[in-house]
Amino acid sequence: MKRLLALLATGASVVGLTVLAGPPAQAATGCSAEYTITSQWAGGFQAGVKVTNLGDPVSDWTLGFTMPDTGQKVVQGWNATWSQSGSAVTATGVDWNRTLATGASTDLGFVGSFTGSNPAPTSFSLNGVPCTGSVTDPTDPPTDPPATGTPTDVNGQLHVCGVHLCNQYDRPIQLRGMSTHGIQWFGSCYGDASLDALADDWKSDLLRVAMYVQEDGYETDPDGFTRQVNRLVDMAEARGMYALIDFHTLTPGDPNYNLDRAKTFFSSVAARNADKKNVIYEIANEPNGVSWAAVKNYAEQVIPVIRAADPDAVVIVGTRGWSSLGVSDGSNESEVVNNPVNAANIMYAFHFYAASHKDNYRATVSRAASQLPLFVSEFGTVSATGGGAVDRASSIAWLDLLDQLKISYANWTFSDADEGSAAFKPGTCNGSDFSSSAVLTESGALLKSRISTADNFPTS
């Protein structure tokens, strides 16, 4: 059964269908706008607007609407350039969502304030055309009941299909989850209670296991760290979560420095976990100060080692410039598109920190997503240092974009590190409460609210 989206339709039928006979064809126009208040507090609220273009493709758009109460104001918005004059609000598309094909949607949002009441806005229009259309969501699966079971039960062995991550039914899915901090430092954060909370309360699909190679990591005790990683793979599996095994190279930035270690490590974990369906391998966290050619050379030596032991697992390859597809080094995705890694069933890592990496990075991802299979195996809501304040608007813009593109993600970090990117307040991992809101940081609360919404995994 197709879900009919809640609409602000005024009762008119679908606008934008061309009539077969009659006057000469004109550009088809029309839109629908779905407005939702996602939270509200004394004098303030957060709202989302899903805009769908029901007419001909547009390469530039402005959404207009009217605030019914004089006290209602847009304070700060995302995924568009917002302005307000009296009761009239406009939102204009930004680089990466400026073009809307027929039937395409984009999600915008804003934080607002109000003094009296806070009714829903009226008179939505797109490029001046009233949004009176209705639309069914073409991404809805044709199945009736929502899938039941854990993420790994429902999706089984994953593979790459086109630019997407696909499940056992060969349908694109998005995994949403969390990354550990360095397991050499935060082992106490990864026990039964915290992982129960991650699976049951957060409804996380995924645990990324960040095994640093340097900084007192793998190189100091290869067997011990291999055991720890395998233990976390098992703990994730027992809870129905995918496990991303992250060979967390960072400094030095050239992954070839660790090539022998990578071969030893991956031949061991791939052999040991070959029969499991929940394992994804991430072979180099963040190459930096090194060319794409060098990263590709590393990947083409490590991937065959994994394939020899575990032929069907998805492998994620880090990209140049701290896994920015080269953008942080002044390059872009074309170096990968023009010279891809010679291997099948792989994805490319894209990492971002929302307070540091904004519109030009989002534009890169929205462009690259139609050409390369991308996996956001690490991102933060804060600055690239891992600390500082949560950039809420940028984080939400990013998460909306990843949702729209069905790009999987893991947030840095499921830990109680004393830095803004950590989900838990310092000291949490010494205790037994991983579920109450009292132990969450601002970043943790935001991510938990995003990750714990129902998954929509196709089952046929």
Q: Are strands 31-41 and 73-78 parallel, antiparallel or unpaired?
A: unpaired
Q: Minimum distance between the CB of residue 23 and ligand IDC, rounded to whole angstroms?
A: 57
Whole-number minimum distance, CB 327 to ligand IDC, in Å?
13
Q: How far is the CB of 350 from ligand IDC (least distance, A)?
A: 12
Which positions from 413 to 432 touch ligand IDC by CB under 6 A, shown as an x/- string? ----x-x-x-----------
Q: Which amino acid is at 132?
A: T
Dist CA 368 CA 373 (whole Å): 8
Query: Which of the 8 DSSP states describes residue 356?
Result: T
Q: Which stretch binds ligand IDC (CB under 6 A): 129-137, 153-161, 228-236, 379-387?
A: 379-387
Of 298, 320, 309, 400, the closest CA to residue 47 belongs to 400
Number of residues that bind ligand IDC (CB under 6 A): 15
Q: Report the C-alpha gap between 365 and 203 in whole angstroms.
A: 26
Q: Is 384 in the site for ligand IDC (CB under 6 A)?
A: yes
Cα Rg, the chain, nearest whole Å = 23
| Least distance to ligand IDC, CB of residue 386, Å | 3
Cβ proximity to ligand IDC, 129 vs 327, nearer residue? 327
Helix then strand count (H, E) for the chain reads 10, 20
Query: Of 167 and 408, which has the nearer Cβ to ligand IDC?
Result: 408
Q: How far is 334 from 331, CA to CA, in rounded Å?
A: 8
| Contact call for residues 132 and 10 (beta carbons, < 8 A) | yes
Would you count residue 187 as binding ligand IDC (CB under 6 A)? no
Work out how close the CB of 329 gets to ligand IDC at its nearest, in angstroms, rounded to a whole number: 14
Omega before residue 138 within 30° of 0, cis: no
Cβ–Cβ under 8 Å, residues 357 and 324: yes
| Pairwise CA distance, residues 12 & 227, whole Å | 62
List the one residue from 56, 215, 403, 455 that touches ligand IDC (CB under 6 A): 215
Residues labelled catalytic: 286, 378
**In the range 24-83, which residues lie near ligand IDC by CB under 6 A?**
none
Q: Residue 215 or residue 403: which is nearer to ligand IDC going by CB?
A: 215
Closer residue to ligand IDC, CB minimum distance, 124 or 353 = 353
Within residues 439-458, the interface with ligand IDC by CB under 6 A covers: none
Shortest spacing between CB 171 and ligand IDC, in angstroms = 31
Stretch that binds ligand IDC, among 90-98, 167-175, 201-209, 383-391 (CB under 6 A): 383-391
Residue 425 per-residue DSSP state: -
Q: What are phi and psi of 362, to 5 degrees?
A: -65, -40
Report CA dihedral (234, 237, 239, 244) to the nearest 10 degrees: 100
- Find the shortest distance in angstroms from Cβ 93 to ligand IDC: 29
Residue 369 binds ligand IDC, judged by CB under 6 A? no
Site residues for ligand IDC, 2-21, by CB under 6 A, read: none
Q: Which CB atom, from 175 or from 417, has the smaller least distance to ligand IDC?
A: 417
Strands lying side by side in the sheet with 159-161: 159-161, 164-166, 172-173
- Residue 386 interacting with ligand IDC (CB under 6 A): yes
Does residue 378 belong to the site contacting ligand IDC (CB under 6 A)? yes
Instruction: Mark residues 286-325: x for contact with ligand IDC by CB under 6 A, - for none.
Output: x-----------------------------------x---
Query: What is the distance between the alpha carbons of residues 252 and 214, in angstroms, rounded to a whole number?
Result: 8
Contacts of 65 (CB under 8 A, 6+ apart): 33, 49, 88, 89, 121, 122, 123, 124, 125
Return the residues of window 82-101 that contact ligand IDC according to CB under 6 A.
none
Which residue of this chain has its Cβ atom nearest to ligand IDC in the complex?
Answer: 386
Residue 346's SS3 state is strand
Instruction: State both tokens at 6.
Output: 């809640």
State in angstroms the smallest separation of the CB of 322 from ligand IDC. Answer: 5
Write out the two tokens for 372.
């390369």
Residues near ligand IDC, by CB under 6 A = 215, 250, 285-286, 322, 351, 353, 378, 384-386, 412, 417, 419, 421
